Structure 1
Amino acid sequence: MSDVAGPSRRETRALLARAARTQADAEAVAEIAGAARAEVVAAYAVASEPQVWVAIEKMSIETVKDTVDGRARLDDLPAHGIRSVADVLRAGPQRLTRVPGIGDGTARKTIHAAEQLKRAARDSLQFRIEYDPKNPDMTRLVRALNTFGAVWRAAGTQEKDAGRLAAELARQRPVAGPAEAGRLRRLFMRAGDKAVADDAAREVRALVDAAEVAGLPAAAKEARAVRTPGDRQVWRDFERRSTDYYDLLSLVVGLGGDVAASEGFLPADIVERVGAQQLDSSRLSDTLRLRGYQSFGARFALVQRRVVLGDEMGLGKTVQAIAAMAHLAARGATHFLVVCPASVLINWSREIARHSTIPVVSLHGGGRARAVARWRAEGGAGVVTFGSLGALALPPPRPALLVVDEAHYVKNPGAKRSQAVNRVAAESERVLFLTGTPMENRIDEFRALIEHLRPEIAAGMGPEHAAISVEAFRRAAAPVYLRRNQSDVLTELPELVQVDEWEEFGGEDGSAYRDAVRDGNFMAMRRAAFAVRRPRDSAKLTRLLELAREAMANGRKVVVFSYFRDVLAVVAAALGPDARGPITGSTPVAERQRLVDRFTAERKPAVLVCQIEAAGVGVNIQAASVVILCEPQVKPSIEAQAIARAHRMGQVRTVQVHRLLIADSVDERMIELLGSKAQLFDAYVRHSTIAQATPGAVDMSEVQLARMIVAQEQERLSGVPVS
């Protein structure tokens, strides 16, 4: 023993000092993370309770009767004011037993059934964090999530192992205190057995070394330094990045949802194959947490290889495509290609760089030849516009994944961009079409997309096939098509309130409208309501200003959409310094994003003025919670896309949509004729119970639509004054 007492004692003291620090760090991480997690659970229980009660208020007494012994006499409960599950729980046994025919036993069974139903309602609750800084329960939850998020960022990867490490070190090293020689001997010498002492020292050293390499000391330091900001700052942070808060909440309480809806109601065999596919996330950024339905979408693309992802706007199709690319990159793939409209090229480059470690190469604009050469040599995600794709020669090796965004742009097989996409798709290992609007006017347009991917499937889903039933059409499309709707999977999405603002023409705008009808000028008819010298002479403009000013007075930002640039000019002039933009088709793509970024960052409410086909795709405007549409659009999908710019993942406020309409005008005619288009879209592209619709129901071109409306209005106004 004396031969090793001196050096061994010093080395052991140093090792035990390191072990003590490591144990303290591990205990701190476990304690801080555990406390933050527990506070989220407690805060959620309190904040969710009112929403649970709202759910059981909607459960009629019939649901209780179905759960209780069928012989129980509960038919008289509604007559005594007990009509729902919530009423049963509020009533309690004393009030229940006052109802004729209900004794103590029946009352107990009834309350027990109601409690079971309440638990079921809580388990299936589609919880939403209500944006209400004055609500103390919601504020507590948002604060708890903010704290947990900070702790998770500091120590999330260490949390799982911290408790185990602390316990193991506590077992290996002596009770905390001075490292006396006798205690060291008892620990490491074990009755003079040097071999046992060396083994014990090696085990402790291995634990400490592994913890230090993994970054435990830094994680503990950051976790100890976490401080929760004030309530106002927390709510501001929630408004800015609410999706992160929901992701954190789902980590702790496991938010539920409709599993079948998240899987797109696909057949069981496809769901099983997708479920068996693992998703390698090692090339994704640490800050990205995929939702369950997003992971499913990425895995669907990997398993089925050549598919259309038709998720409704706002569900993160871009992220799902990036996740599929990252998986393939982690498995050795080198080349990827994204084809998109020019308006979203910058957004794609930013999102790939933000969410993955895949190099991004822009194959558009000046220096394109050098960029293409670099992409060929070094790989990465090449991003190219539809217009530039034709001049792009495929590099060896061929793309591991071709992503085509806004894929409905290639629905016309005769168009040059469609042919260019088809050539690249034929050479690509996997192809992923992204579109929230795979069909606009006819079922044939949807089938045309499938032709690019799986011609043999497209051959089995022609017009005559679709005419059989919606479900038959969807079964045929299942191997190649996945769609989820916001209402099914994005349970936290706030309410969408849509209001039709009907007005009547005044003197000046009415005169402009009659002139346009007489001339048979469809476009002039659509924008006649804004053809005025003074704002008060336009019923639409007057209402627009009222809506915008009321919204801004309530702290809300507004986005105004119109198809027409001259309408936007009139609107911007009337709004004066409150107007931002306009964003039009001639606004450079980079400038569009800068305008949106500045609008988002502004603390003061303002109005962003946008041309609907320029800003209705590719930019996210969650900062706005009020949308004003100046006129109906020829395609329902264009309007839906525009609304989805604001009503999408990350929005925390109820979104108000106001459609400005003039009675007895082109507006009313368009709504009547286009209603069937929207219905057809719902039937075949959304999951719907509409059972019968034929593909030719709305086989009408824009030119035919214009001619029909002009003729109707000319007939109506012949001899009939508008005002």
Structure 2
Amino acid sequence: MATSGQRNKQHSSSSSRSTTSRRAHGDEAGVIPVLARVAREIEAAAQRGPVKSTNRAKFQVAAVLLREERARIKADKDITEAARANEQKRLDGLAGILAKTAARDTSLITLLADDAPISTAARELKRDLLLSAGVELSADELIVVTEPKPVDTQADKQVVPESVRQFARYNPFLAPDFSNVPDKPVENRSNRLGNWELIEPLFRAFEYGAGGGSAVMDLPEAKSLQTPGTLDLMRHQAQLIESARDGHRTFLLADEPGLGKTAQALLAAHVSNSYPLLVVVPNVVKMNWAREVERWTPKRAATVVHGDGDDIDAFADVVIVNYEVLDRHVNWLAKRGFRGMVVDEAHFIKNKESQRSKNVLSLSKSIRALHPRALFMALTGTPLINQIDDFRMIWQFLGWIDDKKPLPDLMDKLEDTGLTPADFGFFAEARQSVIDLGIVRRKKVDVAADIPARRIADIPVELDNELGRSIREAEQALVSRLVDRYRRVLANRQTPTNDVDHELIRLVAHAELEESKSQKTGENVFTMVRRIGQAKAVPAADYTVQLARNVGKVVFFAKHIDVMDQAEAYFAKSGLKTISIRGDQTSQQRQKQIDAFQEDPDVAVAVCSLTAAGVGLNLQAASNVVLAELSWTDAEQTQAIDRVHRIGQELPVTAWRIIAAQTIDTKIAELIGSKAGLAARALDGSDAEVAAEGSVQVEALVALLTEALS
């Protein structure tokens, strides 16, 4: 990155060049003929195959000079309008050549951006082209300064939690483990591909070599659906687990959301004994990962890194850390001795210049150096966001390529094809070679027979901001009030007892609830739940954005208007088009919004009021629902999900409930789940009492007070 002084110098140089003398305008003089020659060279190179580094630099410099020359001609007051129009026409022709070249090799498109980084070699090339065009350059422009490497501030951020120090004292030396590395026979390979540029052809293979086939490696049949926990696997999940059991160690798991990528990763680690396991995730899902460890592998302990990691357990089997704090912990994580690493939402590392990407790659290299047979898994429903080059960093994390060439496993597969990029059929064979290294992509429609027609998945989120802290303080105040009320009543009894009186707990909960209903001001269970909804608005919207980019249309439900407003603002900021279903709309307005969601492919999210849109609507263009706020009844929740899960829905439906961890929200979610199905059982002749809204509210208060007393 250029220093401020260098930027000022570059700015002054650019300004001076606008007034430097140039050759008279003419067909064979000035910058335009030089640009024309360079553009033709790049065009010819692109016709021969992927554009290599030298011509990529030429392409970028040509684009920069074209922009500068267009601006200079526009501002030049010394030429006639006719001459100006003629020069602009010539530039338009050159711009057309560059555009066609970029269309032929799409990796060049990123070089057209105004903020694309320009290397020292490219700046030198730009200087030389200007000199060859007869442009008089200033002394500053003649000297190209090599930009200094950025100062590494990582060391200043590093922390070492006390638990990690204890672990280091307990186990001060971790030797590399080569016990499971198979001995490869030495072969006299032809090394046909040694002098070929292969990275770009491999990327192109995924653009042109598909042949209609899906990107799924051959997976063995599932031998068992049982797991160490209480849950069973689905068939498509068990197939990947079986592959890990058979010895496969790298996976790009790109299943659609709702197909259980988390469970597959955890159980792949279990069957391959890849412990300790490092899991790098977005902040919004790190609590959910800890819960999933407990559900799927209950004998394995998980620890979550918050902030500086003061409360972590460095002896845990699974260490979960989010991207945002990873930079503080890279040093000790690199020395922990992990035998496996999972990167969730792996498209987060697509930018090779970002610090998060550098951290992830650094850790993967450290782990691979200690344990060559370590498990590496990249999980993402959207491995490609904008361009095929988004694969690059994921493949590097998995150890398939480095920044210049395929690494041995992939190179061996490419050699085995007997083809080169110049041969017919190379793209299809090269694509399959990469897939065989571990790409697994299944869609809901592909495995519909495996999964339930409708299911609810909880996503716990941590409220670690100021609002989250105030909510926890309010909950503590509510619990204190309940405990005081309970103890006062107990103290006035003629025969006090030290045993917990559950009947009295229920009476206290009822009294608190009745007061809350009549209370106009102050903190109570209703205001607290509303504040929790407000605090969850952005995390829920963020999760919805990820879903929409992964699988298409999503229905977002909230109870309160302010939560809907926050979510809609977040969606707009993220570039997603939305519609809204609210209680103040006329029937015509509402139907217009529904039709747009059902029929307009650009509409990504329907933002709906849980009460206004919970009944009578058909939103089956989506198969994913996000419940940002919890209802007080299972019936209201079910009605919302049924806007999507309707006759004609061809895909299994998943409802994602966003739960605020370590708050009353978790208790409400558990209670709603426990009450689910009571209505149906009652209609079927069961004696079970059907849960009403008030009963869930009372039970939530009962749970808080019981926990405090015990």
Q: Please give the TM-score of this superposition, normalised by the length of structure 1.
A: 0.34
Structure number having the greater helix percentage: 1
